[in-house]
Chain A
């Protein structure tokens, strides 16, 4: 049974989250002495992967210096990046493996913890078959670790069920780009943004979720570019929008189809480009024909002439870019949403050139690299398909196994949790993933975790999910192991090891390799350091779409990153795709898709009349496992608040600061209101970084996009009512436990 031991209070007293405010030794310790070194590496948080120099003394990270020479961010950092260094010396760090006892957890030796883990996984597999255990990975892992986790699941465990938290992030965009363009990558380097004439940002709260990208957008505006922002909220970058489209949650596709309708109707297409480089345009034309701006306005709440203007600005420009993130992607029609964006770029010939293209803003730290090399349930290294016989042959050859021994595609992340809930999957090994906070319908997730017969976690803090584990293997922070990641531009960059893991904690890859040995598969995991994993990864990716063969750690350092594909050692890398008009499909063409409107999976009705959308704040990252432990970041936005328009608030007698119970078809939570004119009056927003009774994901639903299997976080139906203050006034206890 994987019920959380101890009471929540006891768990949080021991394992946090506690708030760390000060560097090792306190603020009084001056830096700059002889024994100090600066390590040029990257931020551990989002997909921007900003360059940063970590200040290291006595095997501890004690601060940072901006790294102004790194071209992507040129020294710029968001508050998370500034304060990221406070994790290494954090009192909540796990310094030993932990084993479950009746009373809670006790520290254990590595031999005991690893032997137990290997034995339990094998017992379950022998009794219930190889697919009765699953592996969860994550997109904050270095690419070496992500590759290793995929290989571990398929070669050491022999299960087909391996997936990762990127499934919750932007797989819909990846699926759309792969289908339309043949490759899952933002086609343009970020410098192109500053060179655009028209920028449309749809479903991307750039100022808070990709802060450094703001500078690229402002630089484009400095040169006269026009900015279109489509969002249910007036996000920080909307303050300078030339055109703001307040799209109703779940209706982006109608907006985009109407824009395509106008582009076709008014002859704003690029017929030469379409004829020479694409197929299937007639399917798109046919599907947008009924979507005139007036009809779309009824659905989206965006004025017809605003839709006309957005379409004209893009269609009349040869340097238009369309940028999107989770707001467009977290939908049960997320793939169609992204296909529509790509279709606008293709139809107007805005692709493959400087300042022209559709770009997805990858969210997680290694969201790009972590999805390229075999951590996805249907994929092999190099962005290869697991069902492609040639791909299986190649990768099995590199791994020294028979392609027949390579399992087929397994379940996606949410489907794995469903199968745990139903009892089909009985064992789980999880790293870099906090599903109890990040999966939709959190009560269901908790029920599922409690049904596991064995649950092992590799983590550096005891996350809300890890509190349910039978064994927790104390792993490493990003700065404790060398490797590479690929940033938002698909620029492969070098993560330097700055310090050793503290106490008896070990590097993640050493833990995984040691576990493979104990499972009797050590011959396939001989790696002594990440560089050896990377060398094998290069060969495994060779000839694939995400070809890393020509990338080495040294080349990354020399060039300040290498953009894949990079097929040979002499190749400089590929900052911009499709410059020759060739796309990555076998026919060399981009493929238009048929677009079909459908309602969201949790529609509003008389009982649940309000749209609920979830989002993020600038000072927190993902499930908050790391950032809810950093004092300065918690102080900036301590608790989730309900953003609500004064017009809606007035209907329910809610005033600023009142507490409000929000009820969806799953559950209810109560939180403080924040009455603002910066959100649509029919919509409320809750940021999702918190667990337990403040978890937005207790309210969200489990509907998946049918192709990408991404959950629909961005639109649910809810009702609200004013609630009494839930506890006596005064500071809340630290936000701990499950």
Chain B
């Protein structure tokens, strides 16, 4: 849908799992939910997080696929595996730094969020972001996000010297720049690129 972007804000999530249920209803993968959902630590907290595929600019899943079954489309969407090509090897499942792809045994195929391609390509919003009662998953314009949220959209992530930029944004505290939680991303080892820090 033109001009819209996808924003994930776990701090808004109320754990209702409406996204999971609605994802199953989408026409391209009926009965299979592509949402990743976690109780962070239910014993300690009510915190929950729901997220979709981040749709990397340079997708690791596609890089490691031996069957060339994962395609990134012109609009930046990284598709589910192509059924005729996918060999169900799980390379992508293991390689994705975000832990998004899932092997669906019933179909012997990797499946993941394709940003509701059947919906977004005809001007509808993705099912999950449409129903989300807390708008932890939101599909709106960058102008709307800037005007309505205190948090700031971030789409650069670090995973131990692997810098990844994505189509989907994470809402982060207003003073956050890039998201890095691995000490390796702060460790100088010569000429490696490091996460920028304010000194």
Question: Which residues on A are within 8 Å of B, measured CB to CB?
Answer: 21-22, 27-28, 30-32, 63-64, 66, 68, 73, 75-79, 81-83, 207-208, 211-212, 214-215, 218-219, 222, 224, 234-240, 618-619, 632-633, 636, 646, 656, 674-678
B152 at the A interface (CB under 8 A): no
The verdict on B16 contacting chain A, using a C-beta distance below 8 Å, is yes
**In the complex, are the beta carbons of B16 and A208 less than 8 A apart?**
yes
Determine whether the beta carbon of A66 is less than 8 Å from that of B130.
Answer: yes
- Contact A79-B12, Cβ < 8 Å, known A219-B148, A239-B47: no
- Contacts of B47 on A, CB cut-off 8 Å? 239
CB distance from B19 to the nearest CB of A (A): 9
Contact B148 A77 (CB under 8 A): no
Q: Does B31 belong to the interface (CB within 8 Å)?
A: yes
In the complex, the answer to whether B15 meets A79 with C-beta atoms within 8 Å is no
- From B57-65, B131-139, B190-198, give the one contacting chain A: B131-139
Q: Is the interface of B mostly helix, strand, loop or mixed?
A: loop
Residue numbers in A under 8 Å from B131 (CB-CB)? 66, 75-78, 81-82
Which of the residues B15, B22, B42 comes within 8 Å of A77, measured between beta carbons?
B22
Nearest chain B CB to A520 CB, angstrom units: 49
Known: A66-B130, A82-B25, A632-B24. A236 touches B125 (CB 8 A): no
Digitize B12-53: 1 where CB-to-A-CB distance is under 8 Å, 0 elsewhere.
101111101110110100110000000000111111100000
Q: Which 8 A-B pairs have the closest CB atoms?
A: A207-B14, A27-B31, A236-B14, A211-B133, A27-B30, A82-B21, A77-B131, A79-B21
User: Within the assembled complex, what's the spacing in Å between the Cα atoms of A219 and B14?
Assistant: 14
Give the complex CA separation of A27 and B25 in angstroms: 9
Known interface pairs A77-B133, A656-B43, A677-B44; A32-B16 also in contact (CB < 8 Å) = no
Nearest CB in chain B to that of A619: its residue: B17
Q: Tell me if B187 counts as interface (CB < 8 A to partner A).
A: no
Contact B25 A63 (CB under 8 A): yes
Contacts A207-B14, A222-B148, A674-B42 given; 13 further ones with Cβ under 8 A? A27-B31, A28-B30, A30-B30, A76-B130, A77-B22, A78-B131, A78-B133, A82-B22, A214-B134, A215-B134, A215-B135, A222-B150, A236-B46
Q: Which B residues touch A240, using CB under 8 A?
A: 11-12
Q: Which residues of A contact B11 (CB under 8 A)?
A: 239-240
* Total interface residues in chain B, CB < 8 Å: 33
Measured CA separation A213–B133 after assembly (Å): 8
Separation of A314 and B149 alpha carbons in the complex (Å): 24
Say whether B21 contacts A207, CB under 8 Å: no
Report if A75-B125 is in contact (Cβ < 8 Å); known contacts: A66-B130, A207-B134. Answer: yes
CB distance B43 to A646 under 8 Å?
yes
Chain B residues within an 8 Å CB radius of A675: 43
Contact yes or no, B42 A676, CB < 8 A: yes
Identify which of B14, B31, B42, B125 contacts A211 (C-beta below 8 A). Answer: B14
Using known A-B contacts A27-B31, A82-B22, A207-B134, determine if residue A636 contacts B17 with beta carbons closer than 8 Å: yes
In the complex, which of the residues B12, B18, B20, B48 has the most CB atoms of chain A within 10 Å of its own CB atom? B18
Known: A64-B25, A212-B133, A214-B133. A78 touches B18 (CB 8 A): yes
User: Smallest CB-CB separation from A674: which chain B residue?
Assistant: B42
Q: Are A82 and B135 in contact (CB under 8 A)?
A: no
List, in ascending order, chain A residues with CB within 8 A of B132's CB. 76
Q: Contact at A32–B27, with CB atoms within 8 Å? A: yes
Task: Tell me whether B133 and A677 are in contact (CB under 8 A).
Answer: no
Chain A residues within an 8 Å CB radius of B30: 27-28, 30
Q: Nearest Cβ distance between residue A25 and chain B, in whole angstroms?
A: 11
Residues of B within 8 A of A28 (CB): 30
Shortest distance between the CB of A153 and any CB in chain B (Å):
37
Contact residues in B for A212 (Cβ distance below 8 Å): 133
Nearest chain B CB to A74's CB is how many angstroms away? 9
